[in-house]
Amino acid sequence: MPHFDFDPSYGYTLDQLLRVKSPETPDDYESFWRHKLSESLSVAPHPELIDTGITRDNLRVFKIAFRSTDNATVKGWLCLPASGEIKRGFVIGHGYGGRSEPDFHLPFNHDSALLFICHRGLSLSHYPGVSSQPHWHVLHDIDKPKQYIFRGCVEDIWTSVSCLLRLFPHLSGHIGLLGISFSGGIGAMALAWDSRIKKAHFNVPSFGNHLLRLALKTTGSGAAVQLYCRKHPEAVLTTLSYYDAAIAARYINVPVHIAAARFDPMVAPPGQFAVYNALNCEKQLYVLTAGHYEYPEQQQESRLLLNELSEFFADI
C-alpha cells in the first residue's frame, strides 16, 4: 500500500459513510439548472464523424466532434457494433486525467452506440483559455458562480445526448450515462435535470459535499480548490454550492448504480458516499476496497462490477 501523510479512509467506518449528508441547496439552484438545460437543448450539435478503420472487440471506432454550448467543440470517439442492431446508446465520461482512447472492456459492445467524450478543456477537447491540467482546470472561473467551468462540462453531457439522438433517433428512451471520478460528479449534476437519460452508473464520483471535501486532505484536484479557498473562501463556497454532486443527487429520479470506495487519496470516500446517500430514486451500491490506486483485489472487484452493470443496464 502506498504511503500517504494522511489516512485516505479518513477514519470512517462503512456505517458512518452511509450516514454522510449533503449540504443545503441554494435558493435559485433548480431554476438555474433548468434554465441551463433549456439553453443546451437548443444547441444543434452538428456531429462530424471520421472512420478510423479500427475494429476492436466487435466495435468499429469513429472519431467524432460536435458542437456544445458556448461554441465549444467536444471531441471523442463513437464506437458502434461491427455487426448487429443498435438498440441502446451510452454517453461515457472520464476522470480528471482525461482519456486517450475508448474503453473497450464495457459489457455493451454487442448492441450499443458508445459515445466516449472528452469534456471541454480536457484531452482532445481543447477550449480557448482553459488549461488541460486538472489543478488549473478545476479553478477556471471558480469566482464566477454562473460561469464556472463545471457548468459547461455538465452542458457537454446534455449536448452529447443530443448528438447521440441526432445520429440515432430511434434510441430515444434508451440512453444510459457512465461517469467515473470527475465525470461521475459532473454526470450526477447532468442527470438531475435531463429526462432523456434513463439510467446511470457513477464510479467513485467526485464533487460530493464540497463543504466536507474542503476539510479533508487530498492529492486530487480538490487540493487546488482547498488552497484557493483559503484566500477566497466566500467566492469559492458560493460557486461550489451550485456544483455539488450530492445536492444534485437529491433531484435524480431515474435508477442509479454507484461504485464508491472506502479508501481513496484523490476523491475522499465521504464525498462519494454523500452522492449515494442523497439519492431518493431506485439505487444500487457496489462498495470498492479503494479508488484511484492499484490494490490486490482490484481485478476481481472490476469483474464483479462489470457483471452488475451488465444486469443493471439490461432493460434500457
pLDDT single digits (tens) 282-306? 999 999 999 999 999 999 999 999 9
pLDDT over 80 at 248, yes or no: yes
Q: What is the pLDDT of residues 91-106, one digit of tens each?
A: 999 999 999 999 999 9
pTM: 0.97
CATH for 221: 3.40.50.1820
* 226 in any annotated domain: yes
Cα(256)–Cα(159) distance, integer angstroms: 21
Nearest alpha-carbon partner for 309 in 112, 168, 56: 112
pLDDT over 70 at 75, yes or no: yes
- Give the residue-averaged pLDDT of 111-117: 98
Higher pLDDT, 186 or 235: 186
Cα(295)–Cα(309) distance, integer angstroms: 21
Give the rounded distance of the alpha carbon of 70 from its chain centre. Answer: 20
Main-chain phi, psi angles of 201, to 5 degrees: -125, 130
Position 235 confidence tier, pLDDT thresholds 50, 70, 90: confident
Q: What is the structure's pLDDT at 149?
A: 98
Q: What is the structure's pLDDT at 3?
A: 78
Specify burial of residue 143 (Cβ count, 10 A radius: 0-12, 13-18, 19+).
Answer: middle
- Give the residue-averaged pLDDT of 262-289: 98
Angle of helix 233-240 versus helix 222-231 axis, rounded to 10: 130
* 302 in any annotated domain: yes
Q: What is the structure's pLDDT at 1?
A: 52
Number of domains in the chain: 1
* 9 in any annotated domain: no
pLDDT over 60 at 39, yes or no: yes
Specify burial of residue 88 (Cβ count, 10 A radius: 0-12, 13-18, 19+).
Answer: buried
Share of the chain above pLDDT 70, in %: 99
* 250 in any annotated domain: yes
* 4 in any annotated domain: no
For 225, the domain range is: 14-310
- Cα distances from 203 to residues 150, 159, 222, 275, in angstroms, run 18, 22, 17, 11
* 193 in any annotated domain: yes
The helix or strand, by DSSP H or E, that contains position 52, with its residue range, turns out to be: strand 48-56
Cα(267)–Cα(283) distance, integer angstroms: 21
- Give the residue-averaged pLDDT of 120-126: 98
pLDDT over 60 at 49, yes or no: yes
pLDDT over 70 at 123, yes or no: yes
pLDDT over 90 at 2, yes or no: no
